[in-house]
Amino acid sequence: MPSPAEIARAADLLRAGRLVAFPTETVYGLGANALDPAAVARIYAAKGRPATSPLIVHVASIDMAKSLIASWPETAHLLTKKFWPGPLTLVLRKKPAIPDIVTAGLGTAGLRMPAHPIAQALLQAAGIPLAAPSANRFTELSPTTAEHVRHSLGDGVDLILDGGPCTVGIESTVLSLAGPQPLLLRPGAISRLQLESLIGPIASAQEISAREIPAGAAHPSPGMHPRHYSPRTSLLLVSNGSLPEQGKGVYLQYRCPPIDGAYPDTRSNATTPHIQIIPMPADPAAYAAVLYEKLHQADAALVDWIAVEQPPTSPEWEAVNDRLRRAAK
């Protein structure tokens, strides 16, 4: 874990306009001073990210969030009281203090207060809000370890704070409160059912993709490109074990039967030696926690294809299925 001196150094770099990768409970973020347009531009350059894709602003406290937002509705009060710090991003009308480069020119900004102790310590030490998308090349697999960041970005980041594996494993839920009705822009670790139990019905933008957004227009939220969260190896969604017959592959098998009561990291089948099987958990939260790590593992195997058995389509699997659907395009 980073020492107080390393946290202090990272905070100094951020205040000086540099880039620092740091762990959150969801994935590793690539942080820069959200109030410094030149620093934010370095994020876009390092990731190869289009200017139409807005960034999430990470804050140290609710008071910091309120200082950046034009209005704070009662729904925001209820949600942040229950889910902050945590994996929930709220989209609200912004003040001019947040540069347009952060929000892709939109009049709204997504804000989140992360729960990871290193992220919290960094935000407190820096004393500034941090724009921080996932610390990887745009549309590629999100990083859940410091090594994933190094592999994807190399020397494109000034410092990486290593906090070990992320515990949630997929990106935050993004909920817009900027309109007349709450709108779910991206499913994530906080489920739709959890949100609706607190604030009532919410609309869904799940079917919005870059195909429905005019060319050159800003996306309402990060993660809305049709292809996203993708390994470099071709990924297929399959059912009933219908795997490709040609080439070598890795198969992420849902509810894989245990061997002698245990789940090994990988296994092979004597009848299909060209296929490596990675067992996946049956619980949606446990599945999400290891999904990117297993896809990174499969991608590193240098095979011809990765096949993922389609998990259930029930509401608690909404976020996992969103990631897999975009990864397979």
User: pLDDT by residue (tens digit) across 82-95?
Assistant: 999 999 999 999 99
CB atoms within 10 A of CB 255: 11
- What pLDDT shows up at residue 263? 46
Asked if residues 292 and 143 have their Cβ atoms less than 8 Å apart, the reply is yes
Q: Residues 267, 187: one domain?
A: no
Q: Is residue 27 part of a domain?
A: yes
| Total domains in the fold of the chain | 2
Q: Is residue 212 part of a domain?
A: no
Q: Residues 79, 28: one domain?
A: yes
Q: Residues 259, 160: one domain?
A: no
Lowest mean pLDDT among 26-30, 104-108, 212-216: 212-216
Phi/psi of residue 126, nearest 5 degrees: -75, -35
Distance CA 240, CA 37 (A): 49
Q: Is pTM beyond 0.85 here?
A: yes
Distance CA 312, CA 329 (A): 19
**Which ranges constitute the DSSP H helices of the chain?**
4-15, 37-47, 62-68, 74-83, 100-103, 117-126, 146-153, 192-199, 284-300, 318-327
Residue 162 belongs to domain spanning: 4-204
Q: Residues 277, 318: one domain?
A: yes
Which of 204, 221, 245 terminates a domain? The answer is: 204
Q: Residues 9, 79: one domain?
A: yes
Q: Is residue 136 part of a domain?
A: yes
Residue 264 has pLDDT above 50, yes or no: no
Helix, strand or coil, per DSSP, at residue 13: helix
